[in-house]
A and B are shown apart, each in its own frame.
Chain A
Amino acid sequence: MKFAFFPGCTMAYRLPFAEKSIRMVVPHFDVELVDLAFTCCPEPNTVRALSDDTWITLAARNIALAEAEGLNILTACAGCHESLSLAKHELDENPDRKNKVNELLKDLGLEYKGTSTIVHVHQLLFDEIGIESISSKVVRPVPIKVVTHTGCHLLRPERVLHVDNAEVPVKLDMLCESLGMVPLEYMDKTMCCGAGVRKINSVTSYAILREKMTSIAMVEPNAIVVFCPTCFITFESGQRVANRIFGTDFKIPVFYYTELLAIALNLPETDILLAEHRVKIELPTSTETKEENKTETKDSIPSSP
């Protein structure tokens, strides 16, 4: 499989280690990534709030770039995924709108046709590759307790995105299980992390995060696993801000899922990923976990003494 890779501004310039982890793991599943001259997706809460036409035209330009190469788009950020998917949905449903957009793209030598699909890394791993294939490649299981946060923009609007059940998401939990983690149920699982309103009113944003973190802390997980760089930053850096504002004491490490996948595949250089984390975690060492895992579970995993 070959994709036009759409890391998005946030991941590319604020969370490069998460992008690195994606680039590290996908070749192991025969996935090839191509970089194109994309702009921001663009983020709906800013650009679309100013002009719906600007939002859809920029999104159409991004998709058209991939279409020109005959590639589907692989997104890594929930926000980008939703923005591009909604724009595509609107353009495919509304020919008038498509024609208007194409009038402008013509000047750039582009045309939106509707031929490329938008796939998030979440969907690539769960729907295309599948958890069986993933767990068969795991050599270093990660036996930690986690809570998962799929992210608003991967779940909703459910009628357009179809990534997971929007009220009861389970797929990211299953992906975590396939790496040896224990996903925990917690309250407010589908609640927003608060990122969406940070630019407008940061206190509101961190108050939302406080609510969410309170529910998460209740089940005492070792880490939070996300599939969105914006959620990652909100959880990781936001905890400290929330602690400062509200006097709370949150200190839970955060992972973008493919980081843990890289570790479970025992890929070299995963240290450089973890080095960038602001809330540190001691992951159980490789040999320990393999022993445990082997004796407890199945015997099909190749063992190394």
Chain B
Amino acid sequence: MTTSHPKGSSAGPPEVEVVSSEPELRIGVFPCKCGKNIGAVVNIDAVAEYAKTLPGVVHVQVNTYTCADPGQREIQEAIAQHGLNRIVVASCSPTMHEDTFRKTVKAAGLNPYLCIMTNIREHVSWVHQHDPASATKKAMDLIAMSVAKAATLVAQPELDVPVTQAALVVGAGVAGMQAALDLADAGFKAYLIERQPTIGGIMAILDKVFPQNDCSICILGPKMVDVAKHPNITLITMAEVESISGYVGNFEVRVKQRPRYVNMDKCTSCGDCVEVCPVDVPSRTDQNLTWQKAIQIPFPQAVPSSYFIDPEACLGMDLIRCGKCIDRCEQEAINASDRTKYVDFDVGVIILATGFKPADPSKTPRLGWGRFPNVITTLEFERLINAAGPTEGKLVRPSDLLKPTSVAIAQCVGSRDIGTRSACSNYCCAESVKCALLIKEHYPDTDVTIFYQDLRMHGKYFEDQYLKAREEGVKFIRGRVGEIQQYPDTKNLRVSVEDTTHNKLSMENYDMVVLSMGAEGAAGNFPLPISCTSDSFYIESHPKLKPVDTSSAGVFICGGAESPKDIRDSVIQASAAAGRAAIILQKGRYPIEALSAKIMQDICSRCGTCVSRCPYGAISQDGTGKFTVMGALCQACGTCAGDCPQDAIYMPNFTSEQIEAQIETALVENTSEKIVAFACAFCSYRGSDLAGVSRMQYPTNARVIRAMCSGRYSVRFAQKAFELGAGAVLYSGCHLPADCHFQTGNVWMAKRESRIRGWMKRNNIEDERFRVEWVSAGEGKKWQNIMTEMAHVVTTPRKNSSTPKTPTVAKSEKPVKPKTKAKPKGKQASKPHSPGKGTSTKKTTRKK
């Protein structure tokens, strides 16, 4: 099924009718105290009184928790009682609750796009805690800006798109396997993509798994077989996602599969080939502690149960160079002419289960890994204690293959260190205790000491595990290992730790040291722009309430790709992601935001610039030379509008008129001390929210204007702000080059910088008053720094302060001008349009 043109369709009523259907602007403003979160800093009652004076506002109602049921009901009652037709909720970030309040007004019979939010929590009360007066003033300004914007909001038709009932699951560790199995069991098709030759991920190489210390491969193996056999799962190993296009419900995926050189249908895993292969390669499964052949199976339980050839190591699959395996294989399974394949398919949802990387021990050189053979990592330990490992489960030290009589376990390696990863790895405490117990189980006489910084046995049953270790005689010393030195003759290790409980240096000798390794993020190298934290883990849509959603509709995350976690948590998240994905798949149709661009044909000069700006190929020219937007393809970034020379592209809820109204309202007074800050919805605005959530304090000068994408910020907006006397202007977007949620919006915005600076120079505006910044959703601290630095710029007296002389300045005697001009549907033909103007009809339609 194809989608029909969503809006601007011929059924759309002409402009005149829209105006007459809403003859009077009746705005309701709902300031929220959010308990003490806002109320303790911002004087909400003063804000409410101020809101009453704003043009178009007919009703103001303060609430302690607007998002709670009574608060929502009050909005609905107020709509009925006062005939409200625009709603401004002044509370938290729209990222948090815009959806909530849109549903609220919809239930009251109002078009959901007539409701917008003012962020007076993350942008005001949480970041200006020590300056209530300025915070209150800023809250008033922000509400006035929203009211000005609300005045020109136009009802948008609600749309949905069909959903392809299949899922892409990327990564087949335990999380990806679980997600694929859940979806497949629910009756949906799942494509499971794995980079390695086998599924199973890190769990497949572990020996036992805490807290019950059951055998890892014994519980994982059957699940791996389930994956291989499930009729609804298509497993593609040795493969990576090459490209993804489309949108929620309709993703087109291309997967690139490396050659295996072994025909999986013919291979019986007999292992004859291994006997003749002359090439040794370090074993990946065994953490390079032993060798495998160039033709190999990672481990006996591997799925698919088939050998593969490492082409880097293989001497040559022909009889001249080697070809011994071809000669030997009775099944004739070796396929020397195997080539890279591309597999294309369509899915409705995507689950990213790409996992994490074990931390790199060579980044902590003071502990000697790589220089001292008897310093090993936890994963190396797992292989040494594993019956399927290189020593068949006998724990020996690498230097002399003797059983160690004393073992130290050093925690927090690769974690809680700004040189590696500053956060806790979440699993290394439990892992250490498990290793200690495994040693005690096999060799009760071995002396085992755990050096911990903070023993975080936070999970269910973990504390029992700890008590058991105590009972078994494992020693626990509080102190992080400072250094390890190796005795040159015996290769024994001297471990220096301060026993911080007793302020005493401990310099004891051990036969072996196990480094309890943390995790490194591996997210981000994926052909879809999903926001990542600075340490390369995917960012969830909401840390508490939408922990497996991402900011991209239809894309979910689980397991180690989201943050370091253990098996149980990975499986919980995987099932959660599958459940969230199934909601979309099961409904069959998905509602999309009705905010796609429309070209105003009467203004359009047919230059075609927009076509090159659109990352989705949504704009095309018809036979008559007219450019039109294919609604379902458009993702509403507004990059086309940002560069349209005629300003002829209408972006619902982010029109030029609305944004300029916000700029004008922000700059009614004390203009030189104001920063007009543009932030994109998916990175920078979320970064600013994070600064709020983290209570990072900064000066109150900024007035943030949110847009879907930095591609929307036209040159004109900065000019307008400076013309009105703004102290500084910030254009903030997702990091260059590839972080943009809309692929290239940030790139096009960056190209406008030189034009803006050129214009500033001609108008004697100091360079430092304009900044282009890249702030990700994880960079609250960066947002705080930018705000603080820019506040310094606007509050430092300037030598030759300059405001360009333009007609707009002359007009500023009227403060806030809500413009109720309904100017929607790209098709109206009558009115001439010029950017930043168009005042003729406003006074007549404005109330009071």
Complex: A in contact with B (CB within 8 Å): yes
Question: What number of B residues sit within 8 Å (CB to CB) of A?
Answer: 9
Picked from A165, A167, A185, the residue with its CB within 8 Å of the CB of B488 is A185
Residues of A close to B365: CB separation below 8 A: 165, 167-168
- The yes or no answer to A188 lying at the interface (CB within 8 A) is yes
Flag if A218 contacts B366 (CB, 8 Å): no
- The yes or no answer to B486 lying at the interface (CB within 8 A) is yes
Contact with A along B478-507 (1 / 0, CB 8 A): 000000011111000010000000000000
Picked from B366, B371, B488, B494, the residue with its CB within 8 Å of the CB of A186 is B488
Contact with A along B456-495 (1 / 0, CB 8 A): 0000000000000000000000000000011111000010
Residues 124-169 of A at the B interface (beta carbon under 8 Å): 165, 167-168
Residues of A close to B486: CB separation below 8 A: 187
Flag if B371 contacts A168 (CB, 8 Å): yes
- The yes or no answer to A197 lying at the interface (CB within 8 A) is no
Residues of A close to B371: CB separation below 8 A: 168
Determine the interface band of chain A, counting residues with CB < 8 A from chain B: 10 to 19
Residues of A close to B489: CB separation below 8 A: 218
Flag if A187 contacts B488 (CB, 8 Å): yes
- The yes or no answer to A245 lying at the interface (CB within 8 A) is no
Residues of B close to A218: CB separation below 8 A: 487-489
Flag if B366 contacts A187 (CB, 8 Å): no
Flag if A219 contacts B488 (CB, 8 Å): yes
Picked from A167, A184, A188, the residue with its CB within 8 Å of the CB of B366 is A167
Q: Residue of B at shortest CB range from A185?
A: B488
Measured CB to CB, the closest approach of chain A to B531, in angstroms, equals 30
Measured CB to CB, the closest approach of chain A to B685, in angstroms, equals 33
Residues 168-209 of A at the B interface (beta carbon under 8 Å): 168, 184-188
Number of inter-chain CB pairs below 8 Å: 19
CA distance A187 to B494 in the complex (A): 9
Measured CB to CB, the closest approach of chain A to B483, in angstroms, equals 9
CA distance A216 to B821 in the complex (A): 86
Residues of B close to A168: CB separation below 8 A: 365, 371
Q: Residue of A at shortest CB range from B365?
A: A167
Measured CB to CB, the closest approach of chain B to A192, in angstroms, equals 13
CA distance A187 to B487 in the complex (A): 7
Residues 247-279 of A at the B interface (beta carbon under 8 Å): none
CA distance A187 to B495 in the complex (A): 12
Measured CB to CB, the closest approach of chain A to B491, in angstroms, equals 11
CA distance A215 to B371 in the complex (A): 17
Contact with A along B349-366 (1 / 0, CB 8 A): 000000000000000011
Measured CB to CB, the closest approach of chain A to B514, in angstroms, equals 20
Q: Residue of B at shortest CB range from A186?
A: B488
Measured CB to CB, the closest approach of chain B to A29, in angstroms, equals 32
Q: Residue of A at shortest CB range from B364?
A: A167
Measured CB to CB, the closest approach of chain B to A11, in angstroms, equals 30
Q: Residue of B at shortest CB range from A166?
A: B365
Measured CB to CB, the closest approach of chain A to B498, in angstroms, equals 16
Q: Residue of B at shortest CB range from A187?
A: B485
Residues of A close to B487: CB separation below 8 A: 187, 218
Q: Residue of A at shortest CB range from B486?
A: A187
CA distance A167 to B362 in the complex (A): 11
CA distance A83 to B487 in the complex (A): 34
Residues of A close to B485: CB separation below 8 A: 187-188, 215
CA distance A167 to B363 in the complex (A): 11
Residues 92-107 of A at the B interface (beta carbon under 8 Å): none
Measured CB to CB, the closest approach of chain B to A214, in angstroms, equals 12
Q: Residue of B at shortest CB range from A167?
A: B365
CA distance A167 to B370 in the complex (A): 13
Q: Residue of A at shortest CB range from B370?
A: A168
Residues of B close to A167: CB separation below 8 A: 365-366
CA distance A165 to B366 in the complex (A): 11
CA distance A167 to B487 in the complex (A): 17
CA distance A143 to B486 in the complex (A): 26
Q: Residue of B at shortest CB range from A184?
A: B488
CA distance A238 to B496 in the complex (A): 25
CA distance A188 to B496 in the complex (A): 11
Q: Residue of B at shortest CB range from A219?
A: B488
Q: Residue of A at shortest CB range from B371?
A: A168
Residues of B close to A184: CB separation below 8 A: 488
CA distance A184 to B486 in the complex (A): 13
Residues of B close to A188: CB separation below 8 A: 485
Among A167, A185, A186, A215, find the residue whose CB has the most chain B CB atoms closer than 10 A.
A167
CA distance A184 to B488 in the complex (A): 9
Measured CB to CB, the closest approach of chain B to A224, in angstroms, equals 15
Measured CB to CB, the closest approach of chain A to B834, in angstroms, equals 47
Residues of B close to A219: CB separation below 8 A: 488
Contact with A along B292-335 (1 / 0, CB 8 A): 00000000000000000000000000000000000000000000
CA distance A215 to B483 in the complex (A): 15
Residues of A close to B494: CB separation below 8 A: 187
Q: Residue of A at shortest CB range from B366?
A: A167
Residues of A close to B488: CB separation below 8 A: 184-187, 218-219
CA distance A218 to B488 in the complex (A): 8
CA distance A120 to B494 in the complex (A): 33
Contact with A along B367-398 (1 / 0, CB 8 A): 00001000000000000000000000000000
CA distance A168 to B486 in the complex (A): 13
CA distance A219 to B487 in the complex (A): 9
Q: Residue of A at shortest CB range from B367?
A: A167
Q: Residue of A at shortest CB range from B496?
A: A188
Contact with A along B175-207 (1 / 0, CB 8 A): 000000000000000000000000000000000
CA distance A219 to B488 in the complex (A): 7
CA distance A4 to B371 in the complex (A): 39
CA distance A218 to B366 in the complex (A): 21
Residues of A close to B366: CB separation below 8 A: 167
CA distance A186 to B494 in the complex (A): 12
CA distance A185 to B491 in the complex (A): 12
CA distance A167 to B364 in the complex (A): 9
User: Interface of A with B (CB < 8 Å)?
Assistant: 165, 167-168, 184-188, 215, 218-219
User: Interface of B with A (CB < 8 Å)?
Assistant: 365-366, 371, 485-489, 494
Q: 9 closest Cβ contacts across the A-B interface?
A: A167-B365, A187-B485, A219-B488, A167-B366, A168-B365, A185-B488, A188-B485, A218-B488, A186-B488
Provide 15 A-B residue pairs closer than 8 Å at the C-beta atoms, listed in order of the A residue.
A165-B365, A167-B365, A167-B366, A168-B365, A168-B371, A185-B488, A186-B488, A187-B485, A187-B486, A187-B488, A187-B494, A188-B485, A215-B485, A218-B488, A218-B489
Knowing that A218-B488, A218-B489, A219-B488 touch, tell me 11 more A-B residue pairs with CB under 8 angstroms: A165-B365, A167-B365, A167-B366, A168-B365, A185-B488, A187-B485, A187-B486, A187-B487, A187-B488, A187-B494, A215-B485
